[in-house]
Amino acid sequence: MTLKGKHNVAEIDGVRCTVVETGATKERLEFLKALLSHNGYEVKTEQEKDKEGTMLDKFLIGVTDILFNPVISLYQKKLFREDGHEVTAAYWEQKPADTKIPYWQV
C-alpha cells in the first residue's frame, strides 16, 4: 500500500504494464482502479497465486502506460481526485483525513 519508487513492468492479460501495486485487496483494487481510470489510464488487474498455484485474495494492479510511475506522478501533482483536488500521498495510501488543519491553511 505504500509508495515505492522502483519501476516494475509485468505482463497482465498479454499486455506489458507498469506495476502500480502488488498484494492489493479487493477494496484497494477498486479504489486505485477508479482513481487511475479517472486520470485517463487503462488499468489491468490480475489475481495473484501462491507457489502451488492456488488463487489468493490479493491482486496485481498495473496500467498500460509503460512510462507511468506512481511516485513521480503523485509528487509532480499530475493525479487528480474525482472532486478535482490533487491526489496527496495520504489520499493515495487511503489514510484518514486530518481534521485538525491549522487555521492558516484553510
Tens digit of each residue's pLDDT (9 = 90 or more) over 14-39 = 999 999 999 999 999 999 999 999 99
pTM of structure: 0.84
The domains of the chain, with CATH numbers, are 9-94 (3.30.70)
Measured in whole angstroms, the distance separating CA 76 from the mean position of its chain's CA atoms is 15
Kindly report, residue by residue over 55-73, the tens digit of the pLDDT.
Answer: 999 999 999 999 999 999 9
- Rounded CA-CA distance 33/67 in Å is 18
pLDDT at 98: 65
Q: Nine-digit cell at 49?
A: 497465486
Cβ neighbours of 69 (radius 10 Å): 18
Say which residues have a Cβ less than 8 Å from residue 35's Cβ, sequence separation at least 6: 79, 81, 87, 92
